[in-house]
Chain A
Amino acid sequence: MTGRVVLITGGNRGIGLATARRFAADGYRVAVTSRRGDPLDDTITVVKCDVTDTDSVDSAVSEIEEALGPVEILVSNAGITDDGLVLRMKDDSFTRVLDTNLTGGFRVARRVVRSMMRGRWGRIVFVSSVVGLGGQAGQANYAASKAGLIGLSRSLAKEFAGRNITVNVVAPGPIRTDMLAELTDDQRQAMLAVVPLGRLGEADEIAAAIHFLASDEAGYVTGSVLPVDGGLSMG
């Protein structure tokens, strides 16, 4: 039997890439999107996609369906930050982050859920953030988008429960990726000081949680928010 088809948005680096590799190693048929669409290796199909563009999402998913078959597992992972204090935050910064992180997740989920309904089986995992649970000064746009994913996820969980589609959220704490490389040393130290486990997380550790939620074994888990954050949120 060939493995299930999994799509990971923003899967060319960081958490998305670690997740893609985890699924590929386990025999899943894996597709990832990136904005440039540069090839990775022959275990992972890469398609070009900008999640802020509905047509781009549509054609990327069509391309995957043609190459691998209908998407059975969606990992909605693409995300950006654009930090700044609210008093100086422009509308554009707020809406751009929302459009990518939250509306982007909605667009991709809406596109893939139809075939999941038809197959009477599906898994959707949204990658949120610990910041969506606790808020963060300087990240109002990002926190709003990540909190929004929880409401989106739980609504989808209820809407599609009758079709055997589960929808869950993973909320990572600080993970060693490009996203964190943007922090100053001081910011990083301050962050570590509040993580009970006293270290940054690895992308693989998020991949493991996503992999579990996407498995057959997790069939009774839906609408949940799973923090993987070294104890930061104690959620």
Chain B
Amino acid sequence: MSDDNFARFTKCAVEVLSVEASAIVPEATFESLDADSLDLVELVMALEEEFDVTVEEEELDGVSTVKAAFELITSKL
């Protein structure tokens, strides 16, 4: 995990989910962060913008942790 990319990821998550940066750790689940499906869509849209990538709806299936979301985004860089 590149620290720089993770910092950018964290910035988006903090903004969209209104949580502390310290809560954004790889093993955190979105459920534990109190993020519902709408939050997740919003987060993905913010990440798409930040990293200049596109994520298809289907790719979000089963993405339930910070680690999974981070890997999905960075796999596209």
Which residues of chain A have a CB within 8 Å of any CB of chain B?
114, 117-118, 159-160, 162-163
Contact = CB atoms under 8 A, between A and B. Distances in A.
Contact of B45 (A114, A159, A163): A114
B45 A117 contact: no
Contacts of A159: 38
Contacts of B16: 118
A117 B36 contact: no
B42 A114 contact: yes
Give chain B's interface secondary structure class. helix
A39 B56 CA distance: 41
B64 to A, nearest CB: 19
Interface in B17-42: 36, 38, 42
A163 B42 CA distance: 12
Contacts of A160: 38
A196 to B, nearest CB: 42
B17 to A, nearest CB: 11
11 contacts: A114-B42, A114-B45, A117-B38, A117-B42, A118-B16, A118-B42, A159-B38, A160-B38, A162-B36, A162-B38, A163-B38
A117 B45 CA distance: 13
Contacts of A162: 36, 38
Contacts of A117: 38, 42
Nearest to B16: A118
A160 B42 CA distance: 12
A118 B45 CA distance: 13
A61 to B, nearest CB: 15
Given A114-B42, A118-B16, A118-B42, 8 more contacts: A114-B45, A117-B38, A117-B42, A159-B38, A160-B38, A162-B36, A162-B38, A163-B38
A94 to B, nearest CB: 29
Contacts of A118: 16, 42
Contacts of B38: 117, 159-160, 162-163
